[in-house]
Structure 1
Amino acid sequence: MSEQIDVTQELAKLQQRVEHLEKRVKKAESKQGSLWFLWEAIRSILIGLFIVGPAAAIIFGILAALAGK
């Protein structure tokens, strides 16, 4: 009997957490508009340009130098 009460209490706590997470997701979704997607696209381009690009150039440069030996 006490196990059923414990399970019921745990389910109630879990339900509260789920409701809290649902509220947070709805709030986050409401913030996302067309400007949000534009910002994400710009950010992705900048990451590719300033981080991935130079790293790839260095790696290919090293590989080319090693292949030339």
Structure 2
Amino acid sequence: MSEQIDVTQELAKLQQRVEHLEERVEKAESRQGPLWFLWEAIRSILIGLFIVGPVVAIIFGVLGALSHTHQA
């Protein structure tokens, strides 16, 4: 049961990070420079790879481990 709580907490953290990224994109869109928007898009992608990627990997790892323990 604690694994489910951990997954729920990770999903809540992920949601907060996504909301933060959405706010940053909105701010970037409000600025007029096309190069600035491109830079913000690149930064968002990099942040997604280094923050969201590992969180998703952890979630799938926990879910995979849970499914193996229930099958045994």
TM class, shorter-length:
0.5 to 0.7
**Aligned AA (2:51):** I
TM score, norm. by length of structure 1: 0.53
Distance 2:48 2:54 in 1: 9
Partner of 1:52: 52
Within a 5 Å distance, the mapping from 1:1-69 to structure 2 comes to: 29=31, 32-69=32-69
Q: Give the TM-score normalised by the residue count of structure 2.
A: 0.51
Identical aligned residues as a percent: 75
Partner of 1:6: none
Q: Displacement of 1:38 after TM fit?
A: 0.7
Aligned residue identity for 2:67: A
2:60 partner letter: F
Moved over 6 A (4+): none
| Rg (Cα) greater in structure | 1
Specify every segment of 5 or more residues in structure 2 that has no aligned partner in the other structure, as ranges. Answer: 1-29
